[in-house]
Amino acid sequence: MSNEAFAPSPDRYESTDYRRVGDSGLRLPPISLGFWQNFGEDRDPGTLTAIVRRAFDMGITHFDLANNYGPPPGSAESHLGRILARDFGRHRDELVISTKAGYLMWDGPYGDGGSRKYLLSSLDQSLDRLGLEYVDIFYHHREDPETPLEETMGALAHAVHSGKALYAGISNYSPEHTREAARILEGHGVPLLIHQPSYSMFNRHVEDGLLETASDLGIGLAVFSPLQQGLLTSKYLKGVPQGSRAAGASPFLSATQTEDETYQERVRGLAKIAESRGQSLAQMALAWVLRHREVATALVGASSTTQLEQNVEAARGAEFTDSELAAIDEFAVDGTGRK
């Protein structure tokens, strides 16, 4: 890692077509940098710094975290906090930084779920790790059937009214609960800005009502896992590479999934379509989720600056023809590659 002071590229905004988040005034880059599973203590700090710097130089202004990202939980926020303090002190107002709470974070009855106690305590901890006075977006990370939705949304509204968050968001909510969450927040004078669901060619549940809900409510979507943990790349077409996620102890991906005959048939079919478009499979998969107006941004992780650069190119690809979309539908089957 260079000890030289970070000087961002002066033309960093010239090639990015920022997308409006629903009906709000906020715009996000089509590709945002996500910190899930790839920003923990097992990563080289110099590599992490290089990725964040390169992202900003390419016009990526949105960094997405959660309290439990790492591993271990909390380490992604701590890593980014150190990078922000060293390199981005003068550029905070050029960044949109989001974090979440909702999954298990600490021992005892107050470290999980959707209670006011948990959410507001977690937000304070996240701000401390990030070294920030506020985050731009604070999400509830998942539905919690044991906590009244009024309490959870009241906590998000309080975070906004207190100035510790600028916008409120939800993640992994059903269309029905998304509508209810928006209604409750509106009663607190806080609009629901954004919903963060998983969406990819192999995980298409958002098409069963959530896209329509986002359009009706005027909210944006920030989709995560658009590459389905690497299944929508060419990485596993010739077996499981050493050092890959499927070769390790990832709870989200195994070698068995990548060796499945149905998966291999479908991913090869998609790879051929991508090749005909002059794209890699990963680039086409990203462009495919971004084709929806409701999708404000696609969240991607990166293990290197090269990988990040390749993903950013997806936002500049040609639009899909009707025949291409029909051909993709033959292979883009919901549930492919699941355990």
For residue 3, what are the β-bridge partners?
none
pLDDT at 244 over 60: no
199 three-class SS: coil
Judge whether 320 and 292 are in contact, CB under 8 Å: no
Specify the pLDDT at position 242: 53
**pLDDT, tens digit (0-9, with 9 covering 90-100), for 302-328:** 999 999 999 998 888 889 999 999 999
pLDDT confidence tier of residue 256, bands split at 50, 70 and 90: low
Alpha helices in the chain (DSSP H): 45-57, 75-87, 116-130, 149-161, 175-187, 210-217, 255-259, 261-276, 281-290, 305-312, 322-331
Q: Which amino acid is at 245?
A: R
Q: Can you give the pLDDT at residue 247?
A: 46
CA distance 271 to 7: 38
Residues 6+ apart with CB under 8 A from 240: 246, 247, 255, 258, 259
The mean pLDDT value for 137-143 works out to 99
Residue 259: pLDDT band with limits 50, 70, 90: confident
**pLDDT at position 3, please?**
64
67 within 8 A of 125, measured Cβ to Cβ: yes
Average pLDDT over residues 37-54: 95
Return the structure tokens found at 114. Answer: 């959707």
DSSP state of 31: E
Q: Which are the contacts of 198, defined by CB distance < 8 A and separation ≥ 6?
A: 172, 205, 206, 223, 224, 225
Any idea what DSSP says for residue 62? Answer: E
d(C-alpha 194, C-alpha 174), whole Å: 13
Res 301: pLDDT: 95
Q: What pTM, to 2 d.p., does this model score? A: 0.93
- Buried-state track 117-135, b at ≥16 Cβ within 10 A, e below 16: ebbbbbbebbbebbebebb
pLDDT of 64-84, one tens digit each? Answer: 999 999 999 999 999 999 999
Q: Does residue 248 register a pLDDT over 60?
A: no
- Mean residue pLDDT of the chain comes to 93
- Dihedrals phi, psi of 140, to nearest 5 degrees: -85, 125
**Within a 13 Å sphere around the CA of 185, how many CA atoms are in the beta-carbon half?**
27
Regarding predicted confidence, which is higher, 248 or 287? 287
Quick check: 234 pLDDT over 90? no
- State the pLDDT at residue 236: 74
Q: Tell me: the pLDDT tens digits for 104-119?
A: 999 999 999 999 999 9
Q: What is the pLDDT of residue 318?
A: 85
How far is CA 118 from its chain centroid? Answer: 22
At 288, list the tokens: 């495919």
- What burial class does residue 102 get, using C-beta atoms within 10 Å of its C-beta: 0-12 exposed, 13-18 middle, 19+ buried? buried
Q: Give the per-residue pLDDT at 336.
A: 95
Overall average pLDDT of the 284-313 stretch: 96
**Is residue 257's pLDDT more than 90?**
no
Q: Tell me what pLDDT residue 294 has.
A: 98
Of the candidate ranges 187-191, 247-251, 265-269, the one whose mean pLDDT is the lowest: 247-251
Domain ranges in the chain?
Answer: 19-229+287-318
pLDDT the model gives residue 42: 93
Which run of H or E residues covers position 237?
A: none
Fold observed for domain 19-229+287-318: TIM Barrel (3.20.20)
Tokens at 192, concatenated: 């629901």
What are the CA-CA distances from residue 128 to residues 122, 138, 232, 301 (Å)? 10, 14, 36, 23
Closest CA to 164 of 134, 140, 123, 128: 134
| Residue 196 DSSP code | E
